[in-house]
Structure 1
Amino acid sequence: MRNLLLYLLLLSLPAAAQVYTYIDAEGNRVFTDQPRQSNAERIELTPSNNMPSLPAAAPPAPVATTARQPTYQVLRILFPEPDTTIRDSAGNLIVTASSEPALQSGHSFRLLLDGQATGETGRSPVFPLENIDRGTHQLAVEIVDAQGRTLERTPSQPLHMLRISLAQKRMVRPCKKTDYGVRPECPLKDKPPEKRDIPFIPFI
């Protein structure tokens, strides 16, 4: 039994190894890789039937990534400055912005007033606004792509619109006879009628 196990182990040796066998003094068969005995015989081993190892799989090709959208280092509102109070009886205002670098091809400026897009979205960073309600508002400017997606946006900043009524203006600067029809707060319809001098007719 021991000899059988030894023989099986020898079969697992590489084909290049030399194996010899002989009978020792006690009559046992011995297997060895050294021909130490004169009566040792060389054994021809059958080639191994091990399957060749498969070549290592090639690493997957890198997935192509889409080009990163160009970025803007600076986007700011030039006018008005944050927390500015605008005094205009008509509620008119011109908002201007700038970006660094300059606006990329296919991009546009968009103005937000109280979170809603207002004015005309386009290449111009100048937004004329009219008839803004009196009170505090929030301004922000965005840069959008051709699909209207926001690429950059300024922080919202407060704006205070102070609209003086015509009555308040007349109180500060009363209308004179020559102001009617000239100053907006002095319309012709409010011009008081002129007093006519009645000639004196003596009684006879």
Structure 2
Amino acid sequence: MRLYWVILCLVYSGSAVSDQKVYRWKDKNGNWVYSDVPKKGSEKVKLSTNMLTMPATDTSILTPNPATPTVTYQAKITAPSDQQTLRENSGSVYVNGLVTPRFANGFQVQLFLNGKATGPKQTTASFALRDVPRGEHKLQMKVFNDKGMLVAQSAVTTFFLHRASLLNR
């Protein structure tokens, strides 16, 4: 019922606009003055009855293109290699990774050591770990898109860290 009244009001308001009369005259400063009330010495202005029309808008750009291929990212830890033994008395381990294809702006990489994040997400796939205790450790690299969603993760890489001990003397 409301829709009926809205349509009825729109129809009558359009016809009311076309029936209005406009008058113009010059004031004492020589400026044109327009009004719907006639004044002595005013002249009637002929109004155009053409309603404004707009061309149709192309909405095809709003629908997603199904032909757009989705990119599948892959992550790989390149160093240390799987089952590699490292001898580093300071406990420093340098980890390098590779993401293919090259990831887009806003993507970030995070490294996990033994299932725990080693630090915040970053934009490069090179990491420096400090004070890693001796023994067996597992690394995994995860890639996140600009919305924070996981898009790729590497296989788990196992490495062994040997550090000198006072017990070995």
Instruction: Tell me the TM-score normalised to structure 2 length.
Output: 0.55
- Deviations along 1:70-124, one digit per CA (max 9) or x if unpaired, are 322x321110000111111121100000112111111111101111111342111
Structure 1: how far apart are the matches of 2:167 and 2:99?
A: 42
Listed as ranges, the matches of 1:138-153 within 5 Å are 138-153=138-153
Structure 1: how far apart are the matches of 2:138 and 2:70?
A: 28
**AA partner of residue 93 (structure 1):** V
Structure 1: how far apart are the matches of 2:84 and 2:71?
A: 32
Is the alpha carbon distance of 1:99 and 1:91 closer, same or farther for their aligned partners in structure 2, counting shifts above 3 Å? same
SS in structure 2 at match of 1:97: strand
Identity within the alignment, %: 25
**AA partner of residue 71 (structure 1):** T
CA-atom RMSD in angstroms: 2.3
Structure 1: how far apart are the matches of 2:129 and 2:80?
A: 12
* Contact residue 142 and residue 153 of structure 2 kept, 8 A: yes
Structure 2: how far apart are the matches of 1:81 and 1:155?
A: 11
Quote the residue 1:130 is aligned against: 130
Structure 1: how far apart are the matches of 2:100 and 2:93?
A: 24
Task: Find out whether 1:111 has 2:103 as its counterpart.
Answer: no
Larger Rg computed on CA atoms:
1
* Contact residue 77 and residue 157 of structure 2 kept, 8 A: no
- Deviations along 1:130-185, one digit per CA (max 9) or x if unpaired, are 011111111111111234321100111211111112564xx4xxxxxxxxxxxxxx
Listed as ranges, the matches of 1:179-194 within 5 Å are none
* Contact residue 109 and residue 124 of structure 1 kept, 8 A: yes
Structure 2: how far apart are the matches of 1:104 and 1:114?
A: 28
Question: Unaligned stretches of 5+ in structure 1?
Answer: 1-63, 172-204
Structure 1: how far apart are the matches of 2:143 and 2:125?
A: 10
Instruction: Tell me the TM-score normalised to structure 1 length.
Output: 0.46
Listed as ranges, the matches of 1:1-150 within 5 Å are 70-72=71-73, 74-150=74-150
Listed as ranges, the matches of 1:163-182 within 5 Å are 163-166=163-166, 168=168, 171=169
SS in structure 2 at match of 1:152: strand
Structure 2: how far apart are the matches of 1:85 and 1:100?
A: 26
Higher relative CO (Cα under 8 Å, sequence separation at least 6) belongs to 2
